Structures are given as C-alpha cells and as structure tokens.
Structure 1
Amino acid sequence: MRDLEIKLDGLDHVAIRVADLERSAEWYSKVLGLKRYQLPEWGDFPLFLLAGKSGVALFPANLEDPELPPSTKNIGMDHFAFHLSQENFKKAIQHYDDLNLEYTIKDHHYFDSIYTQDPDGHTVELTSIKVNPNDFYK
C-alpha cells in the first residue's frame, strides 16, 4: 500500500442533531466556553460553537418525523469533519477517485467540503476554508 498523499490538519467539527438549538448553544458556550458562529449565508443552521478552529456544529433534530425511532428522534451525531488545506482538498478528490469512492462536493460559502461514508454508513466530511482564516476565525 502506498503512502497517502493527502494530509489532514486535524478535526474540524462534529455535527450533532439536537432537540433545541438555542438550549444546546447556550450549554456549549456556558459549560465549555465555545465561541458561537452563526452566519447569515448558512441560514438558521448549522450553528457552530468553536474552540479556536474546531468544535461542534449544531443541527436541529427532526422531532416530528414518524419514521424515526421514538427513542432517538434523530438526536445524535450527524457527521464528523476533518480540516485540510485547499491543496490537500484537491488531492483528496483525486484520491477518492482513485479508490472509486462515491462522494459529493458542496460549496459552503466559506468552505468547500467533500462527503463520503465509511463502511458502517457514518458520514465523513473533509473541509477546507477558502477565505482568509483570519477573516473567518475572529
């Protein structure tokens, strides 16, 4: 097996679905001291709470969906993301192509992201900031 050509810079965020966005945001801010980022370009969610450049992204759980198990109602982990440079983002796309992995790419205004699933169906995101980090992480 050859060495992997892409380099991850670290964990970016863990996305979790919560019953109440504001209650959870308050908790993460008060208990862990995370800084709130809620950006108009993204609408009401995700709501990021970060320590430096990593943290949690809060999404609303679908509490009313009758198809979801009553024990969870979609509350829990949605996905996790690793951060990498734009150069390594491009390499990751080529790497995924070489592996014949199914993936999707999304433009999140400030970030580009590539999504795939692990063998157990967990969504794995690789994300790369495309604006000056000093302008985003204030």
Structure 2
Amino acid sequence: MNAYATPAQYTAFAEEPFEGSTAKLQKRLRSASVEVAALTRGAIYAADSSGLPTDAETANTFADATCAIVEHWEATDDPFDVEANAGAVKIGSVSLGTTSSSSDGLSAREKLARRIGQRAMTILSNAGLVGAAVAHS
C-alpha cells in the first residue's frame, strides 16, 4: 500500500518535528495510511487504480488524517498500541495505570480513538469520509 502522506507533508502538518529517520517516518506514514484506509472503507471518493484519491481536496484530507495519526503516535510514544492494551501494572502496593484493562468498557470508537487519536477521526468525519465504496476512475 502506498502512503497517503509524504514526509514533507508530515513536516508541514506536525507541531513538532519527527524524531527519527526519514525511513522510519515513511514506515509510520504507511502504517497510518492502513488505519485511514480502514476508517474510510465505506467512503465514496474518486480513486486511481492503486486506491489513492484523485481529487486534491480528498487527497489532502487523507494526508492530514495520516499525519495526525503519526503525530498522535509520536505524542503517545505508542505506535503499536502496546501501552493502551497493557492495563495496570502493580508492584506491591503501588499501581501504575488503571486497576483494570485500559480498554475495558470502551466502545469500539473509543478504543480506536485511543489507538490513533481523535484528531484523525475528526478530520475524516468533517470531510464526510468516515462510515460511508470507492469509485475508481
């Protein structure tokens, strides 16, 4: 899968510079693009044969959402969702985290927001791309 955003787009979007190599950033952008593709699975938009949006506004929205996910992963330092699923750690009388699994009682949307950040979901929702097949041109 191609990434919906480039390292240059990430640099322009993000509040803080990416801490790592360009190769690592490209991998994160591809991983975030997988999340965007999953979120927009039912959305209707013009796409080329590789599935990339052909409309500039839609392409920019996908890029922004992809960058927002990577930025969230950088802020949480948890791109693999390890900590969000780890639950509490208890050593003697000291407890770190919650007393139950951190995802207990959360809706699927809340779990998703915890994993990728609310900002990406808001970007796609505001553009009408969440929850709605891809029209190939």
TM-score using structure 1 length: 0.30
Between structures 1 and 2, the one with greater helix share: 2
Select the structure with the greater relative contact order (CA < 8 A; seq sep ≥ 6).
2
Larger fraction in strand: 1
